[in-house]
Amino acid sequence: MDGMPGISRRQVLGSATAVALALALTACGGSAPSSSGVDKNGVVTVVVNGMPAKTQPVDRKNFEEDVKAFEKSHPKIRIDAREGQMDPKTFAAKLAGGQLEDVYYVYFTDPAGLIERRQAADISKYVGDVPYFKDIDPALMKVFKDADGKTYGLPTGNYSLGLLYNRALFTKAGLDPDKPPATWEEVRTAAKKISALGDGTVGYADYSKNNQGGWHLTSWIYSMGGDVASKQDGTWKAAFNSDAGRKALQALHDMRWTDRSMGTRQLLEIADVQKMMGAGKLGMYMAGPDNIPTIVKQFEREYEEYGLAALPGNATLGGGDGFMLNPKASPEKIRAGLQWVQWKYLRSPEREAVDSKRAKADGVPIGLPQPRLFAGGTQAKIDEIRAQYANTPVGNYRPFVERNAQVETKVEPPNAQQLYTVLDGVMQSVLTKEDADIDALLAEAAKKADVILAPVK
């Protein structure tokens, strides 16, 4: 869930910084790199972001250890790491002023616009040298390609929304926790049985404010076979005023008002729903795998208490992250930057073993079903390694893993945050007004969405 860039000043600051850097290197007895980034000893310096902040001491320590290990195994490459990620508000100014990192972090919602505005380097002729490049999941690589099939970045993480559920409540309600709902009708039935347990127990909960309601409604619509936005004659238009949109909202309405399985408290956001799950008072909600460790840690629960299933339907909302390269970067920097991204993030099975062992020692949860960056044999090897070091009950996530491979993962729509604000209002009306007019809500929201989408090319 991200945003879009802005602008500011440029060359004088960039030149002053370059002079200062050259003087600093000379004073230290080193040699300033050329415009290619390579010094007289053949060492190329690559500026990267994504270094964890000092407030994340374990992640920071591991990152710094990885930089040292990488530089030792790649003596002709030096990593100049910076904190933070890509900030859409300052991106254009940094690029114009020569301050943008050579390798920069992006969300899956960023690449299309960056490619269109030529704010990322075409790396098509370099990726053939990236180990395991051919094994990366084609659906993830599609995010970083243009209409001509040229490549502008590499994915390094991904997620998709599924159905997180409380296994104990399933058992108490007479449901099989190893066979969670596979259709929305089954979700509705399970939610009724769980809410019938009483004592404030809620069968199913969902978000409806702070753009999170629109985010989840998007996934509901995807699962029903629809879209939130689509391109028509070269112009983006709202697409949620459709059968899929009506079915999604009718399902929510019926659970809320007919079955009374969503509880009386509404206008929820993620923290509210996680608290309900952590208190043992919620049967199910739409979530990614990363919600499980959050609940376990914050509410002192056990991993064994939770299961994860794929979202019903044929599609779900997903996203992820990756790295792209500065369009002004030299070929030497691009090659070196890709080596860093591959080594650090697109881990080989051998590196996965090192990282999993270290993560287990640090108490980091291992065995959650995502990210899954590769396809075929490479991913199978990585899964075996993760299972070897797993400290979470991987069997509880099997319903998600097995069926999720058959579910299409669709990324967020253009201008997602603005659209989510509009769709929040639709969710709120349906969940707080029993007589909400779904057709009217969708029609009015579509008008607002068309205005938001009009500038998008």
Give the sign of the dihedral formed by CA 281, CA 283, CA 288, CA 290. positive
**pLDDT value of position 273:** 98
Q: To the nearest whole percent, how much of the chain has pLDDT over 90?
A: 75
Q: Which of 158, 162, 55, 37 is nearest to 106 (CA)?
A: 158
- For the record, the structure tokens of 78 come out as 């030096």
Identify which has the larger pLDDT, 12 or 128.
128
User: How many CB atoms lie under 10 A from the CB of residue 406?
Assistant: 8
Length of the chain: 457
- For the record, the structure tokens of 317 come out as 């909302």
Mean pLDDT of all residues in 60-67 = 95
Mean pLDDT of all residues in 136-161 = 94
Contact 39, 33 (CB under 8 A): yes
- Phi, then psi, of 26 in degrees rounded to 5: -65, -45
Of 34-38, 116-120, 236-240, 446-450, the one with minimum mean pLDDT is 34-38
pLDDT tens for 73-107 read 999 999 999 998 877 778 888 888 888 999 999 99
Helix (H, G, I), strand (E, B) or coil at 196: coil
Strand partners, 202: 282
Q: To the nearest whole percent, how much of the chain has pLDDT over 70?
A: 92
Ordered domains of the chain (ranges, CATH): 11-151+321-346 (3.40.190.10), 162-314+410-453 (3.40.190.10), 354-406 (no CATH)
Contact 46, 78 (CB under 8 A): yes
Q: pLDDT at residue 156 above 60?
A: yes
**Which pLDDT band, with edges at 50, 70 and 90, does 34 fall under?**
low
**pLDDT value of position 304:** 97
Identify which has the larger pLDDT, 71 or 358.
71
**pLDDT value of position 457:** 65
pLDDT tens for 277-318 read 999 999 999 999 999 999 999 999 999 999 999 999 989 999
User: How many CB atoms lie under 10 A from the CB of residue 254?
Assistant: 14
For residue 200, the one-letter residue type is G
The helix/strand count (H/E) of the chain reads as: 17, 12
**pLDDT value of position 405:** 78
**pLDDT value of position 406:** 84
Q: pLDDT at residue 29 above 50?
A: no
Q: Which of 258, 289, 282, 280 is nearest to 268 (CA)?
A: 282
Cβ burial of 294 (10 Å; 0-12, 13-18, 19+) is middle
Contact 223, 314 (CB under 8 A): yes
